[in-house]
Amino acid sequence: MEFLLENILNLVGFLVGLVIGIMSYIGFRNTGSPTLFRLTIAFFSISSGFFVIWSGYMIEDFVLKSGNIERWIQTLGIVIQTVGYFFIAFSHSIKSFFPKSRYFRSIGIFPLFLVSSVQLEHIFRSISFILLAYGAIETMLSYFENKNKGTISVAVGLALLALGEFLGWYSFLFPESILYSISMIIKIGGLLALFIPISKVPLTKIKFDEGLE
């Protein structure tokens, strides 16, 4: 059951991220907007992250048959997704996410070499949670300003992804519980909520750049 949910989640994440990434890229090519460029990086990263984890499960299931996904593949996928979540949060003006001090910047990366990939996974899950929660709050605040129905769907989507990420991170305390499966179902719901408003963008009316056709 967990394996099936994991595969559905990663495939849905890969496809939703890819579609939104492509649409952002088309928008960037047509308007040159830096916001759309950041969204392009964000959603291509999210899509790639889900794809890496999905590939890991497939390789494990059909090639290695070890019964457990290689931990570093899962960690790598989560790190790539976190980069995407960072760019969503960054688009909402996180301008001082990294410490400004040169000293902190120089040692900031050092502790990562002292922890195992399991701990790294939990560190990046918690970072993802913070970024997603920030993105959800900012998007919700934007909804109060523009009253755009699509905005509330994206806010709910980001909030569900944040909740799923939190439960996924918390589930390491209860490894055999249903918590991890619930977190995956919530994340699938979040990805679908993200996709709903994007699916209504009338792209057919736009004459795309020659190179994109």
Partner 1 sequence: MAEYRTHMKIIGDILATTRDDLRDEDGATVTYLIRKANISHSRISRILKTLVSQGLLEQVDSQGSNKYKISQSGREFLQAYYTFTNFAENFGLSI
Where does this chain bind partner 1 (CB under 8 A)?
Answer: 23-24, 27, 30-33, 35-36, 39, 88, 91-92, 138-143, 146, 148, 150-151, 153-155, 197-198, 201-203, 205-207
List b or e across 146-183, with b for residues whose CB sees 16 or more CB atoms inside 10 angstroms. Answer: eeeeebbbbbbbbbbbbbbbbbbbbbeeeeeeebbbbb
Tokens of 144: 């109060």
Query: At closest approach, how far in Å is the CB of 29 from partner 1?
Result: 9
Rank residues 59 and 152 by Cβ distance to partner 1 and give the closer one. Answer: 152
Q: How far apart are CA 68 and CA 65, in angstroms?
A: 8
Query: At closest approach, how far in Å is the CB of 45 from partner 1?
Result: 15
Question: Long-range contacts of range 202-205, CB-CB < 8 Å, 24 or more positions apart?
Answer: 203/23, 203/26
The answer to whether residues 139 and 154 touch, using CB atoms and an 8 Å cutoff, is: yes
Query: At closest approach, how far in Å is the CB of 160 from partner 1?
Result: 15
Query: At closest approach, how far in Å is the CB of 100 from partner 1?
Result: 25
Rank residues 79 and 158 by Cβ distance to partner 1 and give the closer one. Answer: 158
CB-side neighbour CA atoms (13 Å) of 210: 0
Rank residues 102 and 147 by Cβ distance to partner 1 and give the closer one. Answer: 147
Residue type, 60: E
Rank residues 68 and 204 by Cβ distance to partner 1 and give the closer one. Answer: 204
Rank residues 68 and 146 by Cβ distance to partner 1 and give the closer one. Answer: 146
Query: At closest approach, how far in Å is the CB of 41 from partner 1?
Result: 13
The answer to whether residues 84 and 130 touch, using CB atoms and an 8 Å cutoff, is: no
Query: At closest approach, how far in Å is the CB of 151 from partner 1?
Result: 5
Rank residues 150 and 189 by Cβ distance to partner 1 and give the closer one. Answer: 150
Nearest-5° angle of CA 92, CA 95, CA 98? 125
